[in-house]
Amino acid sequence: MDQEAVWKTLLKTLEPEAKKEKSDPAKIGEAMGHCEPADIALAFEELDPKAAQRFFALLEGERAAQVLSLLGADLAKPIAHSLSETKLHQLACLLPEREAAALLASVSKKTIQSLANDPAAPAVAVQDATQRAKYSEDSAGHAMTTEFVRLQPDMTVGEALETVRRTDPHADIPDDLCVLDVGEPNKLIGVLSIRDAVMAPSDRKVGDVMGKDIVCVQAETKIMDAARLLSKHKFMALPVVEKDGSLVGVLPADDLMMFALARMYQRYSKSVGTDAAAMERLSPVQAAQKRVPWLLGTMIIELGAALIVSHFNPILQKVILLASFMPVISAVSGNVGLQAAAITVRGLDVGPGSFRSGGAALLKEIVTTLCMAVVCGTVLGAIGGFWAKHLVFGLVVGSALTCSMVTAAFMGTLFPMLSKGLGFDPAATAGPFETAFQDVIGFGVFLGLATLFANRM
């Protein structure tokens, strides 16, 4: 049986059990017992995270450690947090040092400190995890490893290769070797690949054969930016430095590749507006339950728009032509809001920024929309004035469209940010609320201006 068929067959067994309140541990254990850790990890990543946590609890020993090390960060982190400190300690001892450090870095600093005080804990992995935990989770510093080969420029190539031979053969160290300044042990002055070392004469100095054009990233650099940089230069590893230039770790290419692939899959899953993988697992009734609350909220807000319209019945009866332009204003501003929401959701998916960057995005979208609104408002106002044969009518229509478009852009940008901050799916919530608020404000401004200038129309 091919590899894909194995994990998909396992998934067919696990999915029905995931929907049950009390799954059958014997059935699940038997199904997983015939699969490799990689197949189990692939199947787990297609399940609801809570179900994956339940099924992971059935795994023990080295098998559990291998599965956990193969899971993507989005699933590995909640599973690691759900483990007891004792089991986390056991799994960390069973993993290679670099993978153990990545696991420990995903848990709380308090847990890492507790393991650091345990003499039986894997000291190298704990030290590596402690260094990673100093940085934000989406940074290069959090994904780096502090376990890499350090060389000095006055060493011979033969001595450098001997240094590599003395490393633990089971340790997964990066293939690019870092050359540090003799006087400043943390200052990176060059990089030497193992291939270049093997090809060079053994009596040559490392300083003569090392690469001196160093490309590195700061520890707080976004990890996706680091991945893009590494892909352009085609290095096997990327040095990570502090702001003062001191070397703190190395980003291996294979780790970055796994992160980039996981992020690409996540973006693909969310490209249709909600988490496609999660929605696919829901029954029609469950999917409806997930989406109906937002639609009911929209309905309530739209009733506010209906109240506003009913309040202005006298002006609508007096100038019946106003009703003909209300769908135009709603449709144009609604499209503007949906565009703003789509742009914002895409930006949040690439990587949520700080409040300052969010404010900048909001301001940029409002200014952009204001430029479009002036053009569209002028055009619609001219059409309205010509149609009604009255300049004031055209000014009312044009001004209302301008205000409605700016409001839609503001709401379409703000709501995804608020939804993301509150833990909701921004793509699912932004559209309904943006449309509803834009109708309330757009119709209110339109009919309010019409009432104000009623005697002139």
Q: Map out the domains of the chain with their CATH numbers.
A: 3-136 (1.25.60.10), 150-270 (3.10.580.10), 282-456 (1.10.357.20)
Question: How far is it, in rounded angstroms, from Cα 68 to Cα 356?
Answer: 36
Winning range, highest mean pLDDT, from 53-62, 279-288, 407-416: 53-62
**pLDDT for residue 88:** 82
CB 404 within 8 A of CB 442: yes
User: In this predicted structure, what is the pLDDT of residue 266?
Assistant: 60
Arithmetic mean of pLDDT, 51-60? 88
Most confident of 188-197, 294-303, 336-345, 440-449: 188-197
Indicate whether 415 pLDDT > 90: no
212 alpha-carbon distance from chain centroid: 34
CA distance 57 to 52: 9
Tokens of 134: 């100093």
What is the Cα–Cα distance from 119 to 131, expressed in whole angstroms?
18
Q: Which residues pair with 191 in a beta bridge?
A: 178, 211
Banded pLDDT at 158 (limits 50, 70, 90): very high
Q: Which residue has the tokens 């940029």?
A: 364
Decide which of 450 and 60 is more confident: 60
Q: pLDDT band for position 98 (50/70/90)? A: confident
Q: Is the dihedral of CA 433, 437, 442, 443 positive or negative?
A: positive
Average pLDDT of the segment spanning 69-81 = 81
Instruction: Output the CA–CA distances (angstroms, integers) from residue 389 to 266, 308, 382, 410, in the order listed.
Output: 55, 27, 10, 33
Question: Max CA-CA distance within the chain?
Answer: 98
Please give the torsion angle defined by the CA atoms of residues 38, 40, 46 and 51, in that order, rounded to the nearest 10 degrees: -150
Q: Give the per-residue pLDDT at 294.
A: 64
Q: Which of 97, 90, 25 is nearest to 64 (CA)?
A: 90
The alpha carbon dihedral of 347, 350, 352, 354 has a sign of negative
Q: Which one is predicted more confidently, 270 or 345?
A: 345
CA 7/CA 133 separation, integer angstroms: 33
Quote the pLDDT of residue 385. 84
Q: In the structure, what pLDDT confidence band is assigned to residue 93 with cuts at 50, 70 and 90? A: confident
Question: How buried is 316 (Cβ within 10 angstroms: 0-12 exposed, 13-18 middle, 19+ buried)?
Answer: middle
Residue with more model confidence, 118 or 405: 405
Computed on alpha carbons and rounded to an integer, the radius of gyration of the chain in Å comes to 30
Q: What percent of the chain has pLDDT over 70?
A: 81
- Angstrom distance (rounded) from CA 446 to CA 396: 7
Q: What is the DSSP letter of 175?
A: S
- pLDDT for res 373: 85
pLDDT at 447 over 50: yes
261 vs 157: CA distance, rounded Å: 36
Pairwise CA distance, residues 431 & 412, whole Å? 7
* CA–CA–CA angle 151, 153, 154 (5° rounding): 110
* Residue 205, pLDDT score: 93
13 vs 273, higher pLDDT: 13
